[in-house]
Chains A and B, each alone.
Chain A
Amino acid sequence: MQQRWGLPIVAWPSRLRPTYWDGIALPLVLGTLVLIGWASRQMSVPYRLGQTLPLSLDPWHLPEYGLRTVLRMALALLASLVFSLAYAALAAKSKRAEKLLIPVLDILQSVPILGFLSITVTGFIALFPGSLMGYECAAIFAIFTSQAWNMTFSLYQSFLGVPQDLREAARMYHLSSWQSFWQLEVPYALPNLVWNMMMSVSGGWFFVVASEAISVAGQDVKLPGIGSYIALAIDRRDLAAVGWAILAMLAFILIYDQLLFRPLLAWGQRFKVEAIGQDEIEPPWFLTMLQRARLFDLLRLLFEGMAALASRAAKRAAAPRAVRRRRPRGRAPWIDAAWNAALLAGALYAVVEGVLFVRGEVGWHEVLHVLLLGLATLLRVIVLIALAALVWVPIGVWIGLRPRLARRVQPVVQFLSAFPANLFFPVAVIAILRFHLNVEIWVSPLMILGTQWYILFNVIAGTLALPTDYQFVASNLGVSRWLWWRRLVLPGIFPAFVTGAVTASGGSWNASIVSEVVRWGNDTLVATGIGAYIAEETEKGDFPRIALGIGVLCLYVLLFNRLLWRRLYNLAEERLRLD
């Protein structure tokens, strides 16, 4: 089991003798334990409905609030990890489950998080009567829904992509399915999973206001945390407090980045199947500490012992399966047919039920209206992606052509993409109010504020990947500036650009719900669009209209992906790949 940790394995007692690194490690570990204990006590304090939780805009409270938010994020991330491992494993292992699970996941991922919150919040409250725990769970669940889906997709795709020869080796050397899950499939999926976890956490930060300041379905609770602090600052028109919150958020994201993701990314390198040459990541200090401090060796030995026990138990449980005769697959076509029919019937039933549910309240006229609202948001997304491309492609190429600069810029861009752009929304609102700008137009850029970085990031990476030979050839042939763009750079970075644009557009759709309605105290700016519609109906708790809005949004996202991005993606895959 120990090799999973990838640290050097020869273990004798001298390895457990303390080093200087332990001087940092010990207080860090103890401090973390104390903080977690304290914060989790705060979660389950008694709470009556209607009671106002004490919340202050004093910046000195920010570390405490931030800590509670971080804990929520961590719990949600843990839940996402467990969920995605189980879900992806099931979808990848069983053809029948796959047919149900993957389309469901596709839909889940296009449902906006406020939708989940409004549907589940009452249930969570009922689960823990008289305690704050219900609201905490609702908030954690909301963060979970902004993190889990893309992690699941990444795992599922990695599981399917495990090389055939490694699978055969695992079978040949009699790894049980439990063993090969942990020794083969999960390690293989790790590098991609870490990337997606980073993106997931960014998503979580983005929706932290919406998930902590629960104001859906008639509820109005602000759980102590950074998100609620921001919500309160906006309510009270306190620009200084917004500034403090931005600073605190910067600090917390930096800590997350340094303590969690830099080490994870560097550590994840070893799980890459193909050897990578020059872009090896330098070992971050925190990983060095983990690897050098003996304290962690001790903890690791402890953990390994437990893992070995668990594995032995699992092996005993799985033993009858391993001995069992393998039946050739696909022997029962009628079961498959029945399963397909059941799935189809289920889907039809759900559609009919959904339509009836919505139609009970909403007239055709309004349905048409909502469809038009979707069109408005679609227009915004297209225009914004185009504008972002115009701005960031030249800049990204410029940076990408200077590898040393690019190495320095990349962590910054990653950091920017992790920063929740909605913290800057109040600034935009104040500007719009002050200069009497057109709301419909000037609210739009907010949608892409946080997601444009994906375009920049990928363009830089794409340019870096262009073989220098091509550039030598181009300058050798005296290719002019314009021709250089048309014949070399644009086709060369196209696959990377598409990847970035897909991510950016997906993020923008999701962001439309928080960016088409923006507040500053009593002033509310509303732009025409499907996002505003959903946000408003969610606040009212009007379920048929929420369902309609979410349904239409999903429809647009799916169509947009199928008709545009999928095609561009295939084009990039088939023709413009560099190999």
Chain B
Amino acid sequence: MPDDSRLICAEKVCKTYQTAETPGRLVLDHVDFSLHEGEIVAILGKSGSGKSTFLRVLAGLTPPSAGYVAYRGRAVDGPAHGIAMVFQTFALFPWLTVLGNVELGLEAQGVARAERRQRALKAIDLIGLDGFESAYPKELSGGMRQRVGFARALVVNPDVLLLDEPFSALDVLTAETLRGDLMDLWLDRRVPTKGIILVSHNIEEAVEIADRIIIFGSDPGHIRAEIPVPLARPRDVTSPRFQQLVDEVYAILTTVPGREPGRRGARGAEPVGIGYRLPAASIQQLVGLLDAICAPPYSGRADLPHLAETEHIEDEELFVLIEALQLLGFAQVAGGDIWAAPAGRAFVEADLQQRKQIFADQLRRSIPLAAHIRKVLDERPGHSAPEGRFLAELEDHLSEEEAHEVLETMINWGRYAELFAYDYDRGVLSLENPS
């Protein structure tokens, strides 16, 4: 493709988050990317893979630590004119009416009052908000609010539209309608926008909308795979070709790197260290999902997209659960399928007390952090240790916030398994349970 068709181009973008104390953590590692004219690109990845950060680098909201971002050949060093963004949380000003919110960008550009009003009304009309001009955001439903978000973005006639999970705060039905309306505008060329980047965690949504899907890997964020979507529009979500692509993306996203079945050798080869960012999976959901996999109709082996649909689990949640099941050795995943491992089957067949025992065994065997905490508690004379001790160790590998999240997950799992106890008030882990 000729060079001048590139709207946005990013080369070797790195991003390091630095605080006063810690030396800095890499969240984006040498990301190369370009958006071509007439193209919709979806960026998929687990939460924490840096995909939102990457979008903000492209938007000029945060500067890259290294590397280069250009919009139409000019370096991006702040929000550029011609790029507009729609936010997951809508980010509407609650004290402005719908009209006021939509006019905001024009007002900032110094567009004259009459023209401002006329353009805003047109954008409101376009996105199907007419009649709501004088409403305040808090009077509107989520779907209508996000329509305001879109109108605010479209009114400035953006060249490039950046969408940061714009549909994920909406219910399924609303999201589908809004997505359809947006695609109609795009396909009918009723908006001057030349390119769209969509950050999402919904695989089907990405396959439905995008011409190309970029899959981000975590720790640090990098591009793991790029999948073109050569399907004709309008796309039929029930067609085998569509489903096959969805499967393919599921397969990539649900495989823990370094744990692909082929490469997995003896149990000793552990890719998971103490500082591994444990997925924040709740015990209830883990157990529920494992039960579902082992029960009919799956009876031990399930197709992931199908499973997500029958169990009503959002993709993002599903990734978390599946990663946890894999880490704990309860299940294995390959090619978009998941099947129960022997430990998983044993767990499902056991009664309540036995389940806890199996869970504890798996924790000590497969999660180094759990084994480490237990070892420290066993060795200490009082069999207790302050949480700060473990947090400090985790913070060698993770940000402060992530360290807290990981320890919280660990404590939840450890409590269920009765591997150790935790006193919230004192912030102390110990071996004894309150008598």
Contact = CB atoms under 8 A, between A and B. Distances in A.
B96 interface: yes
A477 interface: no
B224 interface: no
Contact of B91 (A165, A271, A315): A165
Contacts of B84: 172-173
A286 B91 CA distance: 32
B97 A273 contact: no
Contact of B105 (A174, A271, A328, A575): A174
Contacts of A169: 85, 87, 91-93
Nearest to B89: A165
A379 to B, nearest CB: 31
Contact of A173 (B94, B156, B424): B156
Contact of B136 (A184, A270, A312, A328): A270
Contacts of A184: 93
B95 A315 contact: no
A328 B79 contact: no
A215 interface: no
A187 interface: yes
A270 B138 CA distance: 9
Interface stretch (A6-14, A52-60, A74-82, A533-541): A6-14
A291 interface: no
Contact of B94 (A272, A312, A575): A272
A9 B100 contact: yes
B108 A174 contact: yes
A486 to B, nearest CB: 17
A325 interface: yes
A271 to B, nearest CB: 5
Nearest to A174: B108
A338 interface: no
Interface in A167-189: 168-169, 171-176, 179, 183-184, 187
Interface residues of B, number: 39
Contact of A271 (B63, B85, B94): B94
Contacts, number: 84
Given A187-B93, A275-B138, A326-B63, A165 B87 contact: yes
B276 to A, nearest CB: 28
Given A166-B91, A183-B104, A173 B152 contact: yes
Contacts of A3: 95-97, 100
B369 to A, nearest CB: 24
A169 B138 CA distance: 17
A168 B87 contact: yes
A172 B85 contact: yes
A172 B59 contact: yes
B244 interface: no
Given A10-B134, A312-B110, A326-B78, A187 B95 contact: yes
Give chain A's interface residue range (CB within 8 Å of chain B): 20 to 34
B100 A166 contact: no
Interface in B62-101: 63, 77-79, 81, 83-85, 87-97, 99-100
A271 B137 CA distance: 11
B185 interface: no
Nearest to A273: B94
A173 B108 contact: yes
B244 to A, nearest CB: 37
Given A171-B79, A172-B79, A173-B156, A166 B93 contact: yes
A173 B134 contact: no
B425 interface: yes
Given A175-B104, A175-B108, A9 B87 contact: no
B22 interface: no
B79 A174 contact: yes
Determine which residue in B89, B107, B425 has the highest number of CB atoms from chain A within 10 A of its CB, and name it.
B107
B61 interface: yes
B109 interface: yes
Contact of B78 (A6, A166, A325): A325
Contacts of A275: 138
B170 to A, nearest CB: 16
Interface string A325-346: 1101010000000000000000
Contacts of B96: 3, 183
Determine which residue in A163, A183, A315, A575 has the highest number of CB atoms from chain B within 10 A of its CB, and name it.
A183
Closest 7 CB pairs of A and B: A173-B105, A165-B91, A169-B91, A3-B100, A275-B138, A187-B95, A175-B108
8 contacts: A163-B89, A163-B91, A165-B91, A166-B91, A169-B92, A172-B61, A174-B108, A328-B63
Given A10-B134, A187-B93, 11 more contacts: A3-B95, A4-B95, A10-B133, A168-B56, A168-B91, A172-B79, A173-B152, A174-B105, A184-B93, A326-B63, A326-B77
